[in-house]
Every structure is written in C-alpha cells, then in structure tokens.
Amino acid sequence: MNVRPTPLLLALLLAASLPAQASVQKPTALRALQVTPASVPARPASVPGQVQPVAPGTLAAPRIPQLTLDPNMPEVQKVEYLSNGHIEVAGAVVTLEQPEQSCARAVAGAVARRVLAARAQLDEVDVSVYDKGTYGGFGGPSPLLTASVPRDRLNDFLAWTAGQGTYERAWVSTTPATPPLRAPDRVRELTVNFLGSVADKAADAVHHTTAKVLGGVQGGLLYHGSSRESLAALTFDDAPHPMYEPLVLDTLRRAGVHATFFVIGRNARAYPYFIRDMAEQGHEIGNHTFHHVRLPPLTPADVKQELTLTDQTLQGITGKPVRYFRPPGGDYTPATLRAAEGLGLTTVFWTDDPGDFQNPGVNVLLERYTRTLRRGGVVLLHDNAPEMLQVLPMFLRIADARNITLDTVGVLVKPGAQNDHRPAPTRARPAPALGPVDVTYTTQP
C-alpha cells in the first residue's frame, strides 16, 4: 500500500535524527519484607487481553522502570526495561495511525536507535508496532511488526528498515489488525480441574493415583515424574513475551539449565525469533493453545482448532513436532484429552506452582519455590512475572545445591533421553554464592 507519510510522521523521523537524551522514571524501591502492596481487584478488560490475567489474592506488581525519550516521539506509547543482573533489555510499544503504517519499518528503526542511544546499559530493545485504532494491549489485536534488536545488531536492523537486505529477528504481519478470534482467558493456572461425569472423574482419579505411585505418563497425562530420579521439570507458561524472553533465556543459559516453554500460538506467530532462540538453545516447546482460552466450554471442533493452529505455528518455526500440551487454567475434560491424544500430545500438569504471577514478594516467592521443590516434580512458572525474574537465579542454585537436576518435561518422562543434538549446558560464569534475599527495584542513572 503506497500511502504518503503524514506531516506528523515526517516530524517524527526528523526528530529521530537528533541526539538522544533520556529521563528515567525511577520507581519507589520495593522490598518484599518491608512493603505489603494493596490487593488488586479483578476487573474485566475493556478490550480482550488489555489486562493481564488476574487471580484472587493477586498483589500489585513491582513498578517496572520506564524510559522517556527526549525529544519525545509521539508514536511511542511506552518504553520499559528490566535486568536479570547480567543483561538489560527494553520493550518499546509503538502505535501508528493507518496513514503512517506504510512507514512502520522506518519508525521501528528510529525507535530502536533512539532507545539504545538513550540508555547505555541496554543490551537489547524489543519493538512492537501496533495499529493505533485497534490497540488493546499485549493480548488484543496482533502487532503489525515486531523486532528483537540486540545492540550489536542495530546496524543490521537499520539496514533492513531502509529496505536493504534481510533481518531474521523481525516479523511483519500479512493481515490487517483484527481482534483475536477468542478473547484470552484472564485467570491463570492455580489448580488442576477435571470436568466430567462421575464415571469420568473416577477414571481420572485412578490415573492420578497411579501417577503418584509410578510417576510418568498415565492415560495420556503427566502429573509428575518418578521420585526415584533426582530430576524435576522446569516449565514456563504463556511464552513468549518481548523484553522478558531474552532475560529468562539468558538466565537459564548462564545456569546451564534447560526448560519446557508452553507457548501461546498467537504469541509465537508474532515473535517467532524467540521460539527459534528456545529451540536453538536446547529448550523444549509445548502447546498452550492458540489464544490462551479455557477449553471445556468449547466444542470439540474448536478445541482441536486451538491445538492444531498452535502445533502448525510452532512446527513451522522450528521444524520439529510438538509433543506436550498444557491446558490454560488447568481445566480439562475427556473431550480435551481426546483432542490432545488425537494430535499425539501428552497433557502435562504440575506439582509446584509458587504463584509467581500473584506478586507475593521475592522472599515469599523464593520460600515457595524451595519448599515445594521435589524429585519428580513439575515446576510451573510464568515467563513474564517480574518477581520470578528476580528470584529465578537463586532458585536454580538451590536446586543445584540439593542435587536436583532441572530439565525439560521430555527428560523427566524419559531420564537419560536428552536430545543428543541440543547444545550442551554451559555456564557463562561461576554463579555467585547464595546469600540472603533482599531485592530492591531501583534504576541506575
């Protein structure tokens, strides 16, 4: 579509060429043992996905630092940034009016350059460009363009935005921005819930009891592995998320740990380069439906569609079949299981859910992690929980100290069956000694 840029966009691109300065909005320090955030009531989203899933008892999340560009770029809605203690990554959200969207690449390039110039500590910026008229947050209509721009790849990205060459860490939508087919469910996993007849529940109880005794897959379900092996599965739900994914993957790489990521199909489609990163680094990728919807209310045909779309998306990115599936909310029925089995998927639940998305405070979260860690366990985390990101390195060291190897679901099911083709775990540097937990959310000037 050949549309002439508006005067506003021309002014934006002109401003992008000016020297960049930044002012940082510094959040109030949050110490988990000293501050008790107020409860956050669950409210319906005005636009599907605009509000992240909220469960009862959820507390206010730590305030994420934001970067303000000077001079201002009016299309930039926000720039947030986080660190895992080793690298720092920013996430920039950009919205464009329809006449400006023909220049989306140029705007994305200007934003990436300005953000990286504004804060020297940043190692990467992830840019998401949306249609301004339909923007509804991360779970609303899909972005028009996304890109992951490490600082050392900025020139490559800028060349691509100028129409020169290719850039493999960018995605451009080929369809107009439309609301998702199904609104994302707003309640995250808390408990495993089987819905069915009395006879169905009795059969499910037998599978569950057998799994407790024997471990492993029973009746197409995995509740936990064998307690005879010094193994536990580390899993992340709802991936991938910009800004968070590079930090989680870097943390796992430094610890030499592999995990299973249960991926939302529409997220994977918009951020395929993060899925490739997971696969190339030896992680396992599972199915978490295409829209993150609870499946029991859907028809069998719709359930199959949710799973099939996700499988097709993931296989198209990685070239590998998908073997494992986790139902959003932990809700499932006999029809859910039949749909999963029909696609060759094992349904995976969990034993350890510390509730990282409830923002309980880093000390509480670490205590939950360590209290429930066990042989044969399946640990459930969320890749976009800020407090999880702070506590994860300490949790990985505790598991190592207890001689419990954290690995993928596939390894838990078949100990010793690690993929011979995946990279060997390597530590980037020796882990610091485990000390007392005292995490404060602050920023550096």
Cα–Cα distance for residue pair 260/343, rounded to 1 Å: 19
CA torsion angle 175 171 161 88 (round to 10): 140
Are 299 and 339 in contact by the 8 Å Cβ rule? The answer is no
Q: Which residues neighbour 86 within 8 Å (Cβ) at sequence distance 6 or greater? A: 250, 251, 254, 428
Of residues 241, 382, 383, 407, which has the active-site annotation? 382
Q: Which two tokens stand for residue 209?
A: 């009891």
- AA letter at 251: T
- AA letter at 143: P
Residue 379: Cβ within 10 Å count? 23
- The two beta strands, 260-263 and 284-287, are parallel
Q: Which two tokens stand for residue 21?
A: 């300065």
Are 283 and 408 in contact by the 8 Å Cβ rule? The answer is yes
421 assigned to active site = no
Of residues 126, 185, 237, 356, which has the active-site annotation? 237
Cα–Cα distance for residue pair 69/76, rounded to 1 Å: 9
CA-closest candidate to residue 143, choices 171, 109, 107: 171
CA-closest candidate to residue 322, choices 290, 350, 298: 290
382 assigned to active site = yes
Q: Angle 144-69-149 (CA atoms, 0-180°, nearest 5)?
A: 45
Residues tagged active-site:
237, 382
